């Protein structure tokens, strides 16, 4: 399944970048996904399918799911 992403999501990939960081930020959405390394600032472009294979977790999605609904609805 292809990942459901939003701008500025923080992702953890399966393999580290050469700088040692596993975490990336989404900076572009479209057919290709633009990512920026949180360790060194390097930017990379991956297809959605390639990102789905390399992605371990979406850290921002976990934060969104853990926050309560502001209107009190579940």
- Is the confidence at residue 72, as pLDDT, over 90? no
Q: Write the pLDDT tens digit of every residue in 34-51.
A: 999 999 999 999 999 999
SS3 assignment, position 46: strand
CA distance 61 to 74: 17
The ranges assigned to domains in the chain are 10-60
Q: Which residue has the higher pLDDT, 3 or 51?
A: 51
Say if pTM beats, i.e. exceeds, 0.85: no
Confidence band of 69 (pLDDT split at 50, 70, 90): low
């Amino acid at each position: 399944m292809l990942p459901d992403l939003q701008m500025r999501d923080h992702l953890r990939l399966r393999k580290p970048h050469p700088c040692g960081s596993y975490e990336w930020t989404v900076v572009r959405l479209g057919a290709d996904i633009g990512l920026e390394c949180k360790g060194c600032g390097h930017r990379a472009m991956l297809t959605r399918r390639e990102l789905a294979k390399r992605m371990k977790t979406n850290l921002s999605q976990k934060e969104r799911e853990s926050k309560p609904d502001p209107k009190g609805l579940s």
